Amino acid sequence: MFIVVGLYSLLMLASLVYAQASAAKLTAERCSPCHGTERICDRLGKRTADVWQQTVKRMVSNGAKLTQEEASTVSEYLTIAKPGSKHLCK
Ligand code: HEC
């Protein structure tokens, strides 16, 4: 029983880590053509979910290529990402 629970938690954790890594890669890929990611990294941990959503929306109107779904993945990632986040800030 404990083994099953342990394995399950490990899997959940692994998929969370994986989801965050792929969101970070998506952000790095779509958010770096016009300006460096430093501009984004400087602000990690300093904005609420609402403000990030507005920022991403504004970037889409600036010309960033993101579907609505990708835009919410990126906004969610930016809200929880820690300063110096791997994949995005290096
Ligand atoms: C098509 C070009 C382009 C792309 C792609 C782009 N940006 Fe921007 N970004 C701009 C321009 C132009 C400015 C300065 C004007 C402004 O703030 O709207 C800017 C400014 C910023 C700023 C500083 C202003 C602020 O709100 O503090 C942040 C943060 C930012 N971008 C984040 C992002 C993120 C996150 C993405 C990916 C979703 C992204 N950018 C993709 C063009 C782009």
- pLDDT at residue number 1: 76
Angle formed at CA 40 by CA 37 and CA 42, multiple of 5 degrees:
110
Average pLDDT over residues 3-23: 93
- pLDDT at residue number 54: 98
Dist. CA 22–CA 35, nearest whole Å: 20
- pLDDT at residue number 25: 95
- pLDDT at residue number 2: 84
Segment 26-77, tens digit of pLDDT: 999 999 999 999 999 999 999 999 999 999 999 999 999 999 999 999 999 9
Which of 29, 32, 35, 37 should be mutated for ligand 1, with most atoms under 8 A from CB? 35
Which residues, judged by CB distance below 6 Å to any ligand atom, belong to the binding site of ligand 1? Answer: 30-31, 33-35, 39-40, 43, 55-56, 58-59, 62-64, 66, 74
- pLDDT at residue number 86: 86
